[in-house]
Amino acid sequence: MNFAHTVKRFVIAAIIALALPGSPATATSLLDIWNEAQQLNPEFIASRYEQMAGEKRRDQGTSLWLPNVNLTAMAGSMSYNTSVSGAQFYAPGMGTFNGANFNTSINNGFASRYLLAATQPIYNRERLSQSRQLNMSADASTLGMQVAQQNLMLLVAERYFDVLSAEETLRLLKKQEAAILSTKSEIEKRFKLGDASQTDVQEAAERLDNVKVKALGSETDLQIKKLSLQDLFGSPVSTNKLKMALNANNLNLPSLDTYLAKMKVQNSQLRMLAVQQDIAKEEIAKYDAISSPRVDAIAQSAKDQLNGSGNFGSASNTNTNNYLVGIQLSVPLYTGGYRTAKQEESLLLLEKTKAEYEKTYQNLEKTLRVIWFSLASSKEKINALSNAQKTGQARINSTKNGHAVGSRTTMELLGAESDSVSTDHALYMERINFILNQLRLAALTGDISEQDLKLANAYLD
């Protein structure tokens, strides 16, 4: 067997392997999607970088109280002329002369200069506020990261259960379609035997068409929700199924006031807004009158030199060295009203921040109340719908029997089947809301974590 023939057989085998159907996809858990979503969700990734940037602001806050050292150097062409008259001149062995004149001149000479200066803040209220604001900004970034993390956890759970809801809706519609189709076939047989009217056949056909239209819409909705979940995972997802044995009787729900108090203290969004209020307060403090003076320790060394020639020959006119170590006090006496205007602006922005906090708290409080009452009534709702499910099935059986003997109409039979499907759907959705509302309450009170996702995942097969 030559090499070309071997390669040909290998290629054919590879094509056949690719053409064969793959093994069934393994169901993806909530935690699998959560782990992938952290790497793919743009909003979460942005919040993570914002948090890392926030930590650098802590370093900036620290640096404000460390010495600043600057080196300034200059070189270039410079002209320099001096003329002094009426001076007193003295030289050893020559005596003293009054009315002496001194003239120096350098035209386009070479000039050089350096200045090495260090400044250490000692008292600077404005800088203290800046330092605090930078640290608070870092805290806000960390809280923002927590908000994004909690939102992503909820998003993963909601999209996952959205798919389950859409799948169940489609399943029930298909079940209803099959039941109506069976009823329609039976009615058509009876119509041929003269035991059913044309109206019965038309009613069944109309109901069947309506359910088919709903099923088509449900299929589209399911595909859209699967794609939304896929966006979080990066590839097609095969979901688990909801356990029908879900038991709401074991739910231990603290009082509404307990949740409200917990939310006010622990909710990450409210805490972030509270930090923003503190930042606004520091902005006001920056422009107080007491914040105006600044005291710095300073040290500097400088040298200036100029060499060249002028009207009186060659000259090295300036060659000075100076050193300075001391304390410097700076007090702004007049800034054209800038500081006053900035403080007034900061006061107004603080009030704006307070109003935003109250608005957010009211919205969160309203949301928490709705979720709490919904969760508190889940036990009764699930039990009532479970009982309705049983009685609905009994109603279908009795209506079928009555329809067979002519004591029940076709519309009554189709109505019983439709009501049963509606009850099944309502029960399924109530079970899903029971799971999601627990996660939503945990998020509102700042308690949500991966452990909550594990508990939600435990409701799935």
Section 75-96 average pLDDT: 80
User: Confidence band (pLDDT; 50, 70, 90) for 400?
Assistant: confident
DSSP string over 353-418: HHHHHHHHHHHHHHHHHHHHHHHHTHHHHHHHHHHHHHHHHHHHHHHHHHHHHTSS-HHHHHHHHH
363 exposure class (CB count in 10 Å sphere: 0-12, 13-18, 19+): exposed
Per the model's pLDDT, the better-predicted residue between 92 and 4 turns out to be 92
Which range of 92-96, 338-342, 444-448 scores highest in mean pLDDT? It is 444-448
- The phi, psi pair for 335, rounded to 5°, reads -120, 20
CB–CB of 389/424 below 8 Å?
A: yes
Report the pLDDT averaged over residues 252-262. 93
Helix (H) or strand (E) holding 438: helix 410-444
- Residue 26's pLDDT is 67
For 328, which DSSP code? E
172-220: pLDDT as tens digits = 999 999 988 988 888 888 888 887 788 888 888 998 999 999 999 999 9
User: Rounded to an integer, what distance in angstroms lies between the CA atom of residue 217 and that of residue 222?
Assistant: 9
Three-class SS state of 123: strand
The pLDDT mean for the chain works out to 87
* pLDDT above 60 (res 13): no
The confidence score (pLDDT) of residue 8 equals 39
Amino acid 24: pLDDT? 41
pLDDT digits (tens, 9 = 90+) for 338-380: 888 999 999 999 999 999 999 999 999 999 999 999 999 998 9
- Picking from 442, 406, 415, 413, the residue whose alpha carbon sits closest to that of residue 190 is 406
Residues, the chain: 461
Cβ-contact 267, 446 below 8 angstroms: yes
> Quick one: average pLDDT of 430-442?
94
Residue 5 has pLDDT above 50, yes or no: no
Distance CA 273, CA 355 (A): 10
Range 45-54 average pLDDT: 95
Provide the pLDDT confidence category of residue 18 given band limits of 50, 70 and 90. Answer: very low
Predicted pLDDT of residue 273: 96
Name the band, by pLDDT with cuts 50, 70 and 90, for residue 306: confident
Q: What is the pTM of this model?
A: 0.80
Distance CA 216, CA 220 (A): 6
Q: What is the mean pLDDT of residues 304-317?
A: 78
pLDDT in tens, 135-172: 999 999 999 999 999 999 999 999 999 999 999 999 99
Asked if 305 and 112 count as a contact pair (C-beta separation under 8 A), the reply is yes
Is the predicted pLDDT of residue 14 greater than 70, yes or no?
no
What homologous superfamily is domain 26-80+123-294+337-457 in, according to CATH? Outer membrane efflux proteins (OEP) (1.20.1600.10)
The confidence band for 233, taking pLDDT boundaries of 50, 70 and 90, is very high
DSSP symbols for 17-53 = HHHSPPPPPPPBPHHHHHHHHHHH-HHHHHHHHHHHH
Per-residue pLDDT, 62: 93
Residues 6+ apart with CB under 8 A from 306: 78, 80, 106, 109, 110, 111, 112, 316, 317, 318, 319
286 φ, ψ (degrees, to nearest 5): -60, -25
Please state the rounded mean pLDDT for residues 110-119.
91
Identify the weakest region by mean pLDDT among 78-82, 312-316, 399-403, 416-420: 312-316
Q: Where does 193-255 have alpha helices with state H?
A: 198-233
Nearest-angstrom CA–CA distance, 3 and 8: 9
Q: Which long-range contacts (CB under 8 A, 24 or more apart) does 251-257 make?
A: 251/375, 251/378, 251/379, 251/434, 251/438, 253/372, 253/375, 253/376, 256/368, 256/369, 256/372, 256/373
Quote the pLDDT of residue 184. Answer: 87
Mean pLDDT value of segment 267-275: 96
Average pLDDT of the segment spanning 402-417: 84
